Structure 1
């Protein structure tokens, strides 16, 4: 059971604080009384009546006349009746009832209840002032309207104890309510922060997936485009060359499909067994061999002693940078030589550079050019490294990245 599911079990003010939407609908009006409010009001009303009857009995024992007893009875009933509006004017009602009990002992119960209600709804300073007034009023009552069954000293001590008990109990209730509201606000704030963190994590995950899909599929689809274009513009090519191009197209389509399935599998069930391993520097030779099979002239120069010792995230980022560099060289400078340089170590980080020679003839226009370089810049930045790209002095193009070893 939660507090918001059963607001009728809460005080009206507290229920409004826990349900701000309902409070807003009331347009600033006082919250409607809950079932708990009515039960508490009835209980404290009968408590005040009981204390008033005890005081009335003491007045009879003191030998007061019927007129005085009738006045005490009426004043006690009036004081108890005013308790139904104690939440609206707590300070004024507490002051008035404490002054009234000086000459009307039957109002003592109502005065104690008003003091308790004041301690629940107001801060300590006004409560302390009214409590001091209550002590003074009870002391004056003990001398003006003495109780024949107890001495003046006992009456003053008893009045002081009842006053302190009412104040302490009211402040305890107030502290508990404020604690519940603070915990509720903290829980709501934590839920909102968790929702924001989840939304941010989803956004970052979508960006990472989009970047990964671009880096993975761009390489495969470029092979498809290059060899399909060759078949289109050279329909009279020799049969072995056509067969080789068709094989590359088939293999590239198959690999692209596998890579796409891998990414979708990560989305559906992350952490399941059977996922394809992520590429690292260990698989860089396989990437170069695949590019050579597709007709590229690729030279690799790796100065990393143990590629398997490179951290997984660093190796994967370095692989994607080399893959995108080879893809760009194949798209924009087909038939030219390309060099892949990898160097570094634990103390120096990893440096990856892909350079291609000047293209033979005009550079073909490829839709979406430049998106891969933007993605590589983001990758290197997220890994804590740097990424540079631009034309070389001999008319070629180069991409170069440095990645920290611990990325």
Structure 2
């Protein structure tokens, strides 16, 4: 729409600008020279439709119109789009060139037969055609420079905003990746500290059941029931891990172990055929924070599992004294 408005406005500007060209108009109307100049200016103004994609075309067409003396408005339009696209160093050079063209146009207008007839303001107000010509040129340059500065500032702001959005997206992606990595680490720890130990216990209990059956030991049924109970607990642990995977990294995962379950760990070790001499003293553990509660359970579980895996059949001495107010002492030994 603005292109059409500019083109229509150019008809009015071109008609006025013909008065600047010597021989273009007479008292009886437009001469052949004036008609030719008008057609050239009209064709040149048609480049306003190309000024965004091909600003240099508009700039050159405007320079032609300025050289034949009609006006320099089209030249300033082309210069505006060229300056906006240029880098800082070239913007200074092109800006100086634009100023020079307008300045030379004003000098020619004031010192040659070109110009001086458009504004006839010697009506006693003190404003002469010379002053009007210089004022219009200065105003035009100031408006062009201000428009360029504003457009460059807006473009820079938009680019900074885009870069900020890209960095924000990159930071969000990195945060998601770190969250996924933390989730994988949590899952690996859960598998190692929980499920792996449980499966090792099942393996040893299965071996004890096999030996008891082979010997005809009447305790084989009890061992099999313990094995079945441990299998259910292992299945529960596996379901808990799958649930954590479905919930995603943002889910708050509650600790799986607690100091209250340490006696059950000892019972499981005994059921697997390991002789465990245990002393467990728990005082005020309801006030223990979740990290401490879980850590003690994990260390007790890992210690018993290692003892059964690497020294199967050797007796184990287990000592745990826990009081959040004074500390935790855990000692697990075998011969």
Question: What is the TM-score when the length of structure 1 is the normalising length?
Answer: 0.64
SS at match of 2:213: coil
Q: Distance in 2 between matches of 1:345 and 1:285?
A: 16
85-94 or 119-128, which deviates more: 85-94
Contact 1:341 1:353 in 2 (8 A): yes
Which structure is higher in helix share?
Answer: 2
Change (3 A) 1:303 1:61: farther
Task: Give the C-alpha shift of residue 279 in structure 1.
Answer: 1.3
Contact 1:343 1:351 in 2 (8 A): yes
Q: Distance in 1 between matches of 2:101 and 2:327?
A: 78
Contact 1:217 1:256 in 2 (8 A): yes
Q: Distance in 2 between matches of 1:51 and 1:304?
A: 97
SS at match of 1:339: strand
Aligned to 1:70: 35
Change (3 A) 1:249 1:117: same
Task: Give the C-alpha shift of residue 164 in structure 1.
Answer: 1.5
2:191 to 201, 213, 220: 213
2:120 to 145, 149, 154: 149
The residue correspondences of 1:218-233 to structure 2 (distance < 5 A) are 218-233=196-211
Change (3 A) 1:142 1:309: farther
Task: Give the C-alpha shift of residue 250 in structure 1.
Answer: 1.1
Contact 2:223 2:271 in 1 (8 A): no
Aligned residues: 317
Change (3 A) 1:91 1:133: farther
Q: Distance in 2 between matches of 1:52 and 1:339?
A: 107
1:104 to 64, 69, 86: 69
SS at match of 2:312: coil
Task: Give the C-alpha shift of residue 233 in structure 1.
Answer: 3.2
The residue correspondences of 1:388-399 to structure 2 (distance < 5 A) are none
* 1:132 is the counterpart of 2:99: yes
Question: What is the TM-score when the length of structure 2 is the normalising length?
Answer: 0.76
Q: RMSD of aligned C-alpha atoms?
A: 3.8
Change (3 A) 1:167 1:349: farther
Q: Distance in 2 between matches of 1:78 and 1:202?
A: 64
* 1:117 is the counterpart of 2:88: no
Structure 2: runs of 5 or more not aligned: 122-128
* 1:52 is the counterpart of 2:30: no
